[in-house]
Amino acid sequence: MRLSTAVAVLILAVCATIGWRGQDAVRHLRGERQALVAEATALGLAVDGAAVAAGDQTRHRRAARPTVDREAEVRDFVRELLALLKDLKAGQGDAPNESALARITDMVERIYQLDAGQVQMLLDKIRTSPGIDDEARRNVIGFAIVSLADSHPEAAVAVYDAAQDLFTGENTRARRDVAAKVLGTWAAVDPMAALEWMRKTGARDAELVTDATKRTLIAGVARKNPGLAFQLIDELDLKDSGEAVRQIVGTARTPADQRAMLDVLRGLADGYEGMEALGAQMAGQGYDATIAWLSAAQPTLAEILWLTKGLDYPQTKTDSGKWMEWMGDHLPQDKVDHKVMVLMADWTTRDYQAAGGWLANTPDGPAKQAAVVGYAKTVAPYDPATAAQWVETLPAGGTRQALLQQVNAEWNRMDPAAAAAFAKKHGFVP
């Protein structure tokens, strides 16, 4: 199982187009190498560990050198890249080629180490190298630009502008993806410069400035100035403003940043949509941490309703029971029922045993009654007998009666005799 040239190009393409930071790409490729070694060992196949050790030693020697011939380093990189692609194209054996993956990892690490001048040299050399095809040429330069943007976004933009001939014709997506990643990084450092560059570039290349590009820019701005980021949603005329709001809110990662984000949202005329996104994000960090944050933030009732509007099982998970009890204690009754029923139904669908266990161990109260409705409606099509037992715990009234009849209808499909007995017990005609 050798890596083909296409696989090598694909690895570099992934790094370039999904916006991995250079160090993340290196960690991923090292993980791939380890997994490949483990798989080969398990299959009883020999692995060229010497090549791995040699690669590691090479990296250590490079890091230890007090001076570097920058141009020679780029020449060496291009020569070794061409040799790697040639070897991969020629090799089609059956044994896992771990050393090839080690060489690719080394290429990625070395791209990440290049400075702005060296990336420009790389562009100049790789553009005219006959031993590399257009796709590989584009992907190597694309990843080099994205990696450079981590530390020198303005310099990365300059290289990107100089590399336009590599991203022409049918390569609009690659051009757009690389530009978006660079824009997002630059916007976090100098929002106005990044915005001006996007506008100028968009004037000559309309395909570049899509809603996705605009959202990436806005998310970058939000890391430095969330208030300005919200302002740009209207200025840039986004088609899907909701996604942009979620991306802005998503840049607030720490409790302090999330508190600052809440303060920004409080100052907006339409900040409640952002509060919904912020609440869902907070809930995903765990019940205890979120409750502590809410206590410190002291939101109004209107803000609480928005902060909890987006709560659902993907955020609450094993804390779902705690959240339902909290909502029963802190929200108006007319808001509790629907929220709890929906959350309980989702929890039951995903883990009916845990949801049923919580019901069995929770004292009666408004939140539990709403949870019983959500639970019974969800399990009735599969286990009407259990659903019936829970419905019978509800107080008399229209909700209980309607649910009794719904459970009976499900039961009748599976066991007409049991359904008839149940209907007779509760005094209604099935």
**Cα distances (angstroms) measured from residue 158 to each of 10, 197, 278, 297, 310:** 25, 11, 36, 43, 42
What's the pLDDT at 97? 60
Instruction: Write out the two tokens for 239.
Output: 């088609």
What's the pLDDT at 67? 55
What's the pLDDT at 31? 57
What's the pLDDT at 50? 37
Instruction: Write out the two tokens for 116.
Output: 């702005």
Q: Cα–chain-centroid distance for residue 278? A: 15
Instruction: Name the nearest CA neighbour of 94 among 32, 46, 33, 34.
Output: 46
pLDDT, average across residues 113-120: 92
Residue 360 makes CB contacts below 8 A (sequence gap 6+) with none
Span of 127-141, 271-285, 405-419 with lowest mean pLDDT: 127-141
**More confident call, 419 vs 240:** 419
What's the pLDDT at 135? 80
pLDDT in tens, 367-393: 999 999 999 999 999 999 999 999 999
What's the pLDDT at 75? 92
Residue 280 makes CB contacts below 8 A (sequence gap 6+) with 310, 311, 312, 315
Confidence label for 213 from pLDDT (cuts 50, 70 and 90): very high
What's the pLDDT at 385? 96
**More confident call, 244 vs 47:** 244
| C-alpha to C-alpha distance for 74 and 110, rounded to whole angstroms | 9
Instruction: Name the nearest CA neighbour of 292 among 324, 263, 342, 326.
Output: 326
Span of 200-204, 372-376, 395-399 with lowest mean pLDDT: 200-204
Residue 57 in this model has a pLDDT that exceeds 80: no
Determine what percent of the chain is predicted with pLDDT higher than 70.
82
Contact assessment for residue 97 and residue 91, using Cβ atoms and an 8 Å cutoff: yes
pLDDT in tens, 284-326: 999 999 999 999 999 999 999 999 998 899 999 999 999 999 9
What's the pLDDT at 16? 41
pLDDT in tens, 166-191: 887 666 777 888 888 899 999 999 99
